[in-house]
A = this chain, B = another copy of it.
Amino acid sequence: MTPRGKQTVRDLRRSSRSTLLRHLYFHGPLSRQELGTATGLSAGSVSNVTGELLTDGLIEECGSVDSDGGRPRILLRVTPGQAHLVGIDIGETQVRVTLFDLALTELASADQPLLAAHDPERVVRMIAGGLDQVLAAAGVPAENVLGIGIGVPGIVEQGTGADPGAGTVVHGQTFGWDAVPFGRMLREHTPLPLYVDNGAKTLGQAEMWFGAGRGSRHAVVALFGSGVGACVIADGVRFRGATSSAGEWGHTKVHVGGRPCRCGSRGCLEAYVGAEALVERWDGTVPGTSEKAGLAALLRAAEEGRPSAVALLDEAAELLGASIADLVNLFNPERIVIGGWAGLLLGPRLLPAIGEAATRYALAYPRSRTTITLSDLGPDAVTLGAATLPLTHFLDSGGEMPDHLAAVAAV
Contact = CB atoms under 8 A, between A and B. Distances in A.
Contacts of A232: 330
A256 B256 contact: no
Kindly list the 7 A-B residue pairs having the minimum CB-CB distance in the complex, ordered from nearest: A241-B332, A6-B40, A218-B242, A246-B332, A248-B329, A252-B326, A2-B236
Contact-residue size bin, chain A (C-beta under 8 Å from the other chain): 35 or more
A6 B19 contact: yes
Contacts of A244: 332
Interface stretch (A128-136, A160-168, A361-369, A399-407): A361-369
A282 interface: no
A175 interface: no
Contacts of A253: 253-254, 322-323, 325-326, 361
B332 A263 contact: no
A408 interface: no
Oligomeric state, in number of copies? 2
A23 to B, nearest CB: 8
Given A245-B332, A369-B243, A363 B326 contact: no
B15 A3 contact: no
A9 interface: yes
A331 interface: yes
Interface in A266-297: 266-267
A155 interface: yes
B171 A365 contact: yes
B334 A242 contact: yes
Contacts of A16: 6-7
Contact of A9 (B5, B9, B330): B9
Given A232-B330, A241-B331, A330-B331, 18 more contacts: A1-B392, A2-B237, A3-B19, A4-B19, A6-B19, A155-B363, A171-B365, A243-B366, A245-B365, A248-B366, A251-B363, A253-B322, A253-B325, A256-B319, A256-B323, A263-B363, A264-B364, A265-B325
